[in-house]
Amino acid sequence: MPTLSLNILVLPTYNNMLLGVADASTYVTPPVNPTIEITVPSFGTVVLSFTPNTYNLFNSESLGITASGADLVPLPDGIYTLKYSIDPAITNYVEKTFLRVDQLQERFDEAFMRLDMMECDKAIKTQSKVDLNTIYFFINGAIAAANNCAIDTANKLYNQASIMLNNFVRNNCGCSGNNYVINFY
Amino acid sequence: MDCVQHATLLQHKQNNLSKMLYPRLVDTDCSTIPALLHDIDHRLNELGANLYNNVVYMLNQPVPATAIIDLLNYRRILTFKRCNPDYASNYTVEQIASRVKILKFK
């Protein structure tokens, strides 16, 4: 006999405009009034209806970041809190927190490719790759900290990674040589 | 005699033709994202096996750590590009392919 067990999973959408939440719950009876409460960093909380036993996608319009009919924008990075509940919501709910890093990850990947496709002195390039690896460790550290409910540490590591990445890109990836992409494409 | 000469010349001509053509014949599927992901996985498999032998048999061979990290990064980027072509749109799949092909033999 199955028992009620609520669980949600945040799955990658590979798109920085979408947030994907899958329902991994087991239900005894069909759920009544399933809703999800999503706290978006810097934008507050929205309460939305949730379709059980499937994969739910949310964008900037459904999360109340952009107006209805306006162009969609990338979802902000930061700590998201999700609370999924069914009636009676006072007892039947599950709450999850995760750190979204999609925008930072995309900037990191662009910096990585920019450095990798650059004609540059080998020693400088090697040092720049070490710097880039450090940034990558910070990003992964931030995700791990958020998964362990260490929100302050997650924010600290995320901000550090973001600052280092900005400096890295501003300093032309630590390389003053010819840019392969600019010169040869 | 003419026939023999003609046959010899024909053979010679064909050889030249095949030499000229051969380097230009490329597999058009090799720069697609699934093919590149397959190449990366294949290379990572090889490097992983080498690393295992290195540790188990204490071979003390140099480990191409940079190539491994780069391949892992390109695998992630290509996975994103496969699902979302607008991801890191400043860089095309062809540009990434040329880097992956070099890393494959590093």
pLDDT higher for A84 or A178?
A84
| Largest Cα span, chain A | 67
Question: Using CA of residue B49, residue B51, residue B57, residue B61, what is the dihedral sign?
Answer: positive
Whether residue B66 lies inside any domain: the answer is yes
In total, chain A counts a number of residues equal to 185
Whether residue B51 lies inside any domain: the answer is yes
Q: What's the mean pLDDT in A38-63? A: 93
Whether residue B100 lies inside any domain: the answer is yes
- Angle between helix axes B65-83 and B33-56 (nearest 10 degrees) is 150
Q: Which of B74, B64, B67 is nearest to B38 (CA)?
A: B74
Q: Reply yes or no on whether the pLDDT at A38 is more than 70.
A: yes
Whether residue B69 lies inside any domain: the answer is yes
**Interchain contact B73–A (C-beta under 8 A):** yes
pLDDT in tens, A97-154: 999 999 999 999 999 998 888 877 778 888 888 899 999 999 999 999 998 889 999 9
Phi, psi (deg, nearest 5) at residue A17: -100, -5
Query: Which residues have C-beta within 8 Å of that of residue B41, sequence separation ≥ 6?
Result: B75
The percent of residues in chain A predicted with pLDDT above 70, rounded, is 93
Q: What's the mean pLDDT in A24-38? A: 92
Here the ipTM equals: 0.83
Return the pLDDT at A119.
76
Using H for helix, E for strand and C for coil, what is the string for chain B? CHHHHHHHHHHHHHHHHHHHHHHHCCCCCCCCHHHHHHHHHHHHHHHHHHHHHHHHCCCCCCCCHHHHHHHHHHHHHHHHHHHCCCCCCCCCHHHHHHHHHHHHCC
B49: burial class by Cβ within 10 Å (0-12, 13-18, 19+)? exposed
- Structure-token pair, residue A23: 């329902």
Whether residue B1 lies inside any domain: the answer is no
User: A14 vs B77: CB contact, 8 Å cut-off?
Assistant: no
Q: What's the mean pLDDT in A10-28? A: 92
Q: Which residues of A touch B94 (CB under 8 A)?
A: none
Confidence of residue A50 (pLDDT cuts 50, 70, 90): very high
Residue B91 DSSP one-character state: S
User: B82 vs A14: CB contact, 8 Å cut-off?
Assistant: yes
Whether residue B53 lies inside any domain: the answer is yes
User: Which string of DSSP letters, residue by residue, matches A74-140?
Assistant: PPPPEEEEEEEE-SSTTTSEEEEEEEE-HHHHHHHHHHHHHHHTS---HHHHHHHHHHHHHHHHHHH
Whether residue B64 lies inside any domain: the answer is yes
Q: What are the strands, taking DSSP E only, across A115-154?
A: none
Cα-only R_g, chain B: 22
User: B99 vs A181: CB contact, 8 Å cut-off?
Assistant: no
Return the pLDDT at A128.
87
Whether residue B4 lies inside any domain: the answer is no
Q: Reply yes or no on whether the pLDDT at B26 is more than 80.
A: no
Return the pLDDT at A125.
82
Chain A: closest CA distance from residue B100 (Å): 11
Task: Report strand pairing: A8-11 vs A44-49.
Answer: unpaired
**Interchain contact A112–B (C-beta under 8 A):** yes
**Interchain contact A119–B (C-beta under 8 A):** no
Q: Reply yes or no on whether the pLDDT at B6 is more than 70.
A: no
Q: Which domain holds residue B73?
A: 27-104
Domain total of chain B: 1
Distance separating alpha carbons of residues A48 and A33, to the nearest angstrom = 11
- Structure-token pair, residue A77: 């990075």
Average pLDDT for chain A? 89
Confidence of residue A184 (pLDDT cuts 50, 70, 90): low
Which domains, from first to last, does chain A contain?
8-100 (2.60.40), 102-184 (no CATH)
Q: Reply yes or no on whether the pLDDT at B105 is more than 60.
A: yes
Return the pLDDT at B106.
74
Q: Is A56 helix (H, G, I), strand (E, B) or coil?
A: strand
Q: What's the mean pLDDT in B44-52? A: 93
